[in-house]
Structure 1
Amino acid sequence: MSFEKIMAFNAPYNQINFDSLIEKIKSNAIVPYIGAGISMLFKDVYPSWSGFLNTTFNKFVDISEKNKFNGMSYEDKADFLYKEIGKLSFSNQLKTTFSKNHLHKEKCQFIDKPAYLLPAIFEEGLIITTNYDKVIEKVYGLYNLMLPVAHPGHFEALNGALRNNELLLYKIHGDINETIESIILTKKQYELAYNNPKLTESLKQIYTSKSMLFLGCSLQKDRPIELLCEVSKSGMSNYAIIPCKNEEKKDRRLQLEGDYYTQSIIYPEGNHECVKIILEQIVKIIKSEDKKGKKELMEFSCDEFNNKKVEETYLGYINKWCDFLDINNWHAWTSWMLAIGQPHISVEMLTNLEELREWLFSRVWPNKFGELQNSFENFKLVASESTKACTHKEPRVE
């Protein structure tokens, strides 16, 4: 299907909304909001959330529960499975399904996917996703672009992305590499997360300061979209590239404009290759009209400034880690934790370990030096177990 035919499918609104979107992108006023549709890259790799829940049910649960399960919301389905098959089994199924190991493919296997075009359009600024997987990080890595990742609560990183147009991926529902407890899955976890001002205030700040571009999203009323409805008001303008049946496109367009202040570019139901065609046209326009004389994206992303910035970030983390641990006296204070008999630790160092663990969790990682980052992740786990051991065994605290 050609770009012209897509525009004609919902004329004149598609072209009008497309032109408006282009102007917003050129003025750095757009935040892409990435849903599961963008992660569905290859056959049998990264299903929709609905597909994951149904596959998990079919694998683990008796068929007699199927009618009951089908009538549930997504949150209730996750809740049901979490309780029915057990926390560890559900966690293993989730991590196996959305593992980054599925992305160990050659670059040529990504270039015909819509996700591959994201770095060409959004070289700077904030990106939001509800996805747990590593697809976005993968495609930015294919361009050798440093893509820091943050979670709700990283206000400094979020403010930098909004205020200074710094590149940042904001994963609002967690990351597949984190613990199952930190990923928002079940109804209870959603309730806790969306009653936490760290998340809701972050989203409100984003919604009211930028325009969203919804990609790979169904735009049904889930929690983030309900929050968007709450803060939406006259003067706001969001965008969506979505599928729709021909006979329903008028009602869908009016519903999006009325509920979400969202201007839609609608393509025929089932023709998901249209997303790539639309994104390609965006790239063609913004690159051809770029008058700043930038190098090609691949060259520009590898400049010495980016490398220096990465190194400075990691060096700062290492220095802070050393300060927390009083590294010059490492052997002196750790020896008492490993001594024969009752282990003990000073109140100061126990406090430092707990604060360090929380500090490490809240860092925004540039994802450049894998072994170094894995070392920090391993230390975070060891520190967690060590503090638990000390507190559970009631050590002598000095």
Structure 2
Amino acid sequence: MSNEYAGLASAVDKFKDAVKKELDNKNGEFHEAINDEEPITFKGLGAEGERSEYLVDPSDVLFWHDPTAYLDELERWKGQKVLDEHLEIRKYLDDSDQLNPFSRLVEAIKRGRVAPFVGAGLSYPYKLPLWGQALERLVTKLEGASKSDQRAMLPALQYLENVKELLGQWKYLEAAQLIYENHKTRFESFVLNTFDGSNVLEFFGVLDLLPQLSDGCIITTNFDNLIERVYTGKNRSIEGYMHGTQSRNQFASKLIQGERCILKLHGNYSDPETYIFSKSQYDQAYGEESLDYTKPLAKVLRQIFVSHSLLFLGCSLETDKTLELFIDVVSSEAFDIPAHFAFLPDPSNHQKKLEKEDLLAKAKIHPIWYQVAIDDCGTQNHSQLEDLIKFAVACATGKAKV
């Protein structure tokens, strides 16, 4: 090599190595696609059999010869990748005749007016129990304590039979009320220890996608702080809070301004003062004989319901106080209600599906059904829900089309 250009060649090599490392790191899949199987080969000068052979990847040739064309091809590849990624889920929506409600949900996400309504199903993959499971676990503990009391010649906890009967009927609210009113301290301790969630170190799945759906209001029936931690991890801390009936950190003002805020309907696990379980607490939150919209929680729920499109995630949407309130607001005909949506597992029983659709229609909630795969061990796989949300976000951001 001529000494005249040795320094220049060395500098160029270092620069190219740094650029190639960066490009391979960020666009490795694209390079694999465009490079195909064989590199470009050519030979140097000299007699036949003595010429050097050079191998160059097409991605390198394209970038260094025409960087603009490289970027065009990269964008084209990304677009096709998005289309391929969502092809199956779009086909499912088409085959199940659900493209129309899905399109309306996409429009709501585009406008920034979606408020996720998060249930226990989104915390369940993190080893936090569903509400029914948690109550059954607490009953087992209390039954053990009851047997100990009997051995000590103390009265048995007779009310637990009534609790188990309520749980068998899926009346979780009534069961929780009964336990709370009989064993308030133990109940509070159980909630604190069960829904701490501090052992969760990494987020994934639907919960991790929430910041892509909403940068404003979130509602949850959960006690844990996983939602707050997900947003904080994305450098989008939630600033407005309302836990149970206690309004703190300017929740109402943040809601009106469209900023990030969270309403935790049953309270926060770490603050028993915010819990809503007893009948008196429900009366304080929603009214005694009928719904009272001068109550802070009822008032703010109505405000969200008439100003946002709720998206129910991980919720069973059985009849409860919240659904009762939404139906009441619709039936009053006092507001122009936006469309609301719910991703729900498609039930195998057609009659139950029709009954659920009729119930949700009263609250202007449009279900979007998804398939749940069940393996040989009976484990449920809700990955199609995640695929639906990713597709909705891709459509809302212009990366895909419904």
| Same fold, TM-score > 0.5, yes or no | yes
CA displacement at 1:79 relative to structure 2 = 2.6
**2:131 matches 1:49:** yes
- Mapped to 2, the partners of 1:153 and 1:66 lie a distance apart of 30
Per the alignment, residue 68 of structure 1 pairs with 162
- Mapped to 2, the partners of 1:243 and 1:182 lie a distance apart of 31
Kindly provide the CA deviation profile for residues 118-142 of structure 1, in whole angstroms up to 9, marking residues without a partner as x.
11222x2111112111110111122
Per the alignment, residue 223 of structure 1 pairs with 321
**2:260 matches 1:176:** no
Task: Describe how 1:307-322 pairs up with structure 2 within 5 A.
Answer: none
CA displacement at 1:254 relative to structure 2 = 3.3
Per the alignment, residue 305 of structure 1 pairs with none
Contact kept, 8 Å, 1:75 with 1:187, in 2: the verdict is: no
**2:298 matches 1:211:** no
Q: State TM-score, norm by structure 1.
A: 0.63
- Mapped to 2, the partners of 1:181 and 1:153 lie a distance apart of 9
Per the alignment, residue 376 of structure 2 pairs with none
Per the alignment, residue 336 of structure 1 pairs with none
1:91 to 183, 188, 200: 188
Change (3 A) 1:125 1:280: same
Contact kept, 8 Å, 1:75 with 1:186, in 2: the verdict is: no
- Mapped to 1, the partners of 2:132 and 2:188 lie a distance apart of 16
- Mapped to 1, the partners of 2:257 and 2:371 lie a distance apart of 37
Q: CA RMSD in A?
A: 2.7
- Mapped to 1, the partners of 2:230 and 2:131 lie a distance apart of 21
Residues 51-60 or 71-80, more deviating: 71-80
Contact kept, 8 Å, 2:110 with 2:397, in 1: the verdict is: no
> Secondary structure at 2:318's aligned position in 1?
coil
- Mapped to 2, the partners of 1:157 and 1:6 lie a distance apart of 42
> Secondary structure at 1:41's aligned position in 2?
helix
- Mapped to 2, the partners of 1:37 and 1:173 lie a distance apart of 16
Contact kept, 8 Å, 2:116 with 2:313, in 1: the verdict is: yes
Per the alignment, residue 120 of structure 2 pairs with 36
- Mapped to 2, the partners of 1:74 and 1:121 lie a distance apart of 29
Q: State TM-score, norm by structure 2.
A: 0.63
Count of residue pairs brought into register by the alignment: 278
Per the alignment, residue 274 of structure 1 pairs with 384
Per the alignment, residue 239 of structure 1 pairs with 341
1:131 to 186, 202, 222: 222
Per the alignment, residue 263 of structure 1 pairs with 366
CA displacement at 1:192 relative to structure 2 = 2.4
CA displacement at 1:222 relative to structure 2 = 0.9
2:238 to 147, 159, 181: 147
Code of the aligned partner of 1:176: Y
Kindly provide the CA deviation profile for residues 205-264 of structure 1, in whole angstroms up to 9, marking residues without a partner as x.
111122211111111111111100100157531100011324427504631453211111
Give the fraction of aligned pairs with identical amino acids, expressed as a percent: 28
Per the alignment, residue 3 of structure 1 pairs with 89
Change (3 A) 1:252 1:26: farther
Task: Describe how 1:177-196 pairs up with structure 2 within 5 A.
Answer: 177-178=270-271, 180-195=272-287
CA displacement at 1:100 relative to structure 2 = 3.2
Q: Over alpha carbons, which structure has the higher Rg? A: 2
Task: Describe how 1:277-356 pairs up with structure 2 within 5 A.
Answer: 277-288=387-398
Change (3 A) 1:247 1:167: same
Code of the aligned partner of 2:264: K
Per the alignment, residue 19 of structure 1 pairs with 103
* Structure 1: 4+ residue segments shifted above 4 A: 62-67
- Mapped to 1, the partners of 2:393 and 2:278 lie a distance apart of 38
Kindly provide the CA deviation profile for residues 313-338 of structure 1, in whole angstroms up to 9, marking residues without a partner as x.
xxxxxxxxxxxxxxxxxxxxxxxxxx
